[in-house]
Amino acid sequence: MKNTLSLLFFVMLIANTIANVELDRLTRLQKQQQLSKDLVIDTFIEKGNVKELFKVWHTIYNIGYDYNTDEGINRYKIFKENLKTILEHNRQNLDYKLGITEYSDKTVKELEIYFNIKDRTPEEFNQITKSFLSLDDYDDSQDNDPNPPQDESDLQKFAIDYTDDYTPIRNQGGCGSCYAFSTMGAVEGNYVAGNRIRDTPVEKVVLSTQQLVDCDYNPNGGGNWGCNGGWMKHANDYLKTNSPMLDADYPYKAKLGTCIYDSNKTSPVKVKGYQTPRKANGGVFQVLKKGPLAQCINVQSAFYSYKSGFYAPTCTSSCQHAIVLMGWGKEAGTPYWLARNSWGTSWGIGGYFKVKDTGINNYNSCLICDHRYSMRPKTN
């Protein structure tokens, strides 16, 4: 019996390894393809011919409209203005750079509508967070953590990066489903990272965000709003009683549809609850050591064109967009938070972004480590 179990474990380990190798290959391919696109775009920016740049960009990203039409010309004019803003920003040599993305023919207002970026009122947030934590989800370890970060020097002893626990970057498209990608992204990361830490490696997973869009749809209360936004807490509550399916079995459509959840086709991932930090920055860091967090942030106009560096604009305290907080590090003397977005690889550092860590006593740039908007799913 013991030999049989050992053989079974070995076979499962080999299967997981093969699956992870394939997903890693796809991730590398995704990065290589985006680097090639960025190189072509940068070459044409240096040449200074905006019309030729627009044509090349149009081809690279397979834009749907014909640029030899009224719509195409109007989009070109927006593209030209966005490029001007990008170049003016980059000439200032700030901590972060802007760049051309697949969305560079849209105005800020259009992008706010496209991604459903809007302020959540304090009343709405307070109503949601009244039940943000139940007794079963209360994390006693935060009461007795032997080494909670107390100041910047303590934070510098650690570096966290869950990038290798993830599959390729995804794209939510023109659907306000960031909450679904944030929640499922945090679930995926905690499942893989948690088992890796426990020395029980598992296969990386791509979970169904469409399941949350369709099946956790309840605009009248207790659920989310499909492509019109939502809260990670509601999504996590849904997953506690409805195990996540794989994206391969319930693929993403970027639109609200009829729920086709099948309990016979669920993934091996089980969501058991969630953990919320008790305080900003140091508290968020403490929870982040255990796994990635679903996090809501504030979005400013520069964020839509972010390309590299340490994002550090002046933001408001309004929660507008959900991402996955998945690391903390230090580069060239600058401490930063690492996060994963859901706007494809043309945006940011291949879909990721870094936010400058401005100090343990601050909420940091754009709510990136505001504990009031953080949640770490607990998985098997």
pLDDT at 289 over 80: yes
Residue with the larger pLDDT of the pair 24 and 149: 24
Mean pLDDT computed over 273-295: 86
Outline which parts of the chain fall under CATH 3.90.70.10. 115-379
Compute CA 181 distance to the chain's CA centroid, rounded to the nearest angstrom.
Answer: 7
Outline which parts of the chain fall under CATH 1.10.287.2250. 2-109
Does domain 2-109 fall into CATH 1.10.287.2250?
Answer: yes
CA atoms within 13 A on the CB side of 171: 13
pTM over 0.85: yes
Q: What is the pLDDT of residue 156?
A: 55
Where do runs of H (alpha helix) occur along 115-208?
122-129, 152-155, 178-197
CATH of domain 115-379: 3.90.70.10
Q: What distance, in Å, lies between the first and last C-alpha atoms of the chain?
A: 25
In the chain, what percentage of residues exceed pLDDT 70? Answer: 83
Catalytic residue among 171, 341, 364, 369: 341
What is residue 308's three-state secondary structure? Answer: strand
Catalytic residue among 175, 178, 215, 296: 178
- Any residues with CB less than 8 A from the CB of 151 and at least 6 apart, and which? 360
Told to judge if 234 belongs to the known catalytic residues of this protein, a careful annotator would answer no
Task: Give 3-state DSSP helix, strand, coil % of the chain, rounded to 5.
Answer: 45, 15, 40
How does residue 11 score in pLDDT terms, banded at 50, 70 and 90?
very low
Query: Shortest CA distance to 283 belongs to which of 184, 83, 149?
Result: 149
Q: What is the pLDDT of residue 161?
A: 95
Mean pLDDT computed over 183-202: 96
CA atoms within 13 A on the CB side of 287: 29
For the stretch 307-339, pLDDT in tens is 999 998 888 778 899 999 999 988 888 888 999
Catalytic residue among 321, 366, 369, 371: 321
For the stretch 115-173, pLDDT in tens is 999 876 555 655 665 555 566 666 666 665 544 444 555 555 678 999 999 999 999 99
CA distance 92 to 165: 36
Burial 171-209 (b: 16+ CB within 10 A, else e): bbbebbbbbbbbbbbbbbbbbbbbbeeeeeebbbbbbbb
